[in-house]
Structure 1
């Protein structure tokens, strides 16, 4: 509205129907007087109904001032979107949630569904696995306040993805959560050898079969390491045999 902004007199022109040209307000005055601004604001609708056109110059998209503001906003956005490069030599941060093994592996049934669904999702998108289950993790020695509240043996879900661990903590609810730094993946996933056994329920009343014992082994560090070593062995053994090579093998087999 005109009454809210002090436009300069040179920016306001009045076009009268039938008049030979625009009647400019005096350019000598710096701004319109308050009385004149109130007059335009109050009688704007009356002027328009009588054929009076009020034109106010506004900055366009191509104006230099507008482009400068856009560039400044884009620069601020980039600063928020891109973090500083991480030093690969520095310790990596790991996030975890932990509870007793009975709860994590035997009672909390949808926990298995969450893990296998995420593993399937990673496989479809060819993403490297970044979460593991660790039975009796050695990093617990760094958290005495957590250790004294745990039933043993304990199982931890460890990941480099902090927001996902937060999501899983909300889903599981009855778990403890923290984070730590480690120099290597092997150090982060180190564990104390422990055998886990669960008693079978005398009567299973659910409409679906109970999860098989050992389903969690697919997410243990040794399973991940075995999968990686198997892939490396297969990749290293692949070779393309040429026709002379095949002929030589055929000749040797004939001997």
Structure 2
């Protein structure tokens, strides 16, 4: 039995795109801890694969933006694993860029990675899941950036907003055999957080603005994926689970609260 009571994924096969680092690695670890056989994919193999105890994820090389690579990836999953129970559509991201000066090619690349590629991955997973008796669950990793202004990453925010619309449409098209859901994290602390928030003091300042008092950890997102893909959430489809620790404290409070004292 897994260490996650009630969430036993023994015998299940889970694919996590972009699962070699950051949020994806945290998701992979959560499913490994729950007993799943986990496949992670990325363009290059990492120095160390996500693992929990003796369990390690399997790695398959694939660029999710390349349709031929995707078809090869799912052919391998079908042939070597025989099933796919859960897809976590996690691969994505964007460097910061001023929308006024970024090139059209840059914007197209961001939208291709964060919206078009996840749609193509989901299409491949759906074909496999529809052909198996137990169906499956497709989890898109969204972002708070798709629900509020995203200055510095405008194309990324637009793509993530598109993901939420996509989830609703695919859930309606692919039901009842395949559930399609989204999980939208807020700020998550990963090995690359310093690139966005600076040193520990900077990350502490960011964390202080979150009602929960901290940024999310990759495992927080992974544990939410465990729930949403499980039978416990069997009636959840076309929905978005928002994980932002209570959001961000409104800026006006810094002025209003001292004035009230």
**What TM-score results when the alignment is normalised by the length of structure 2?**
0.19
**What TM-score results when the alignment is normalised by the length of structure 1?**
0.20
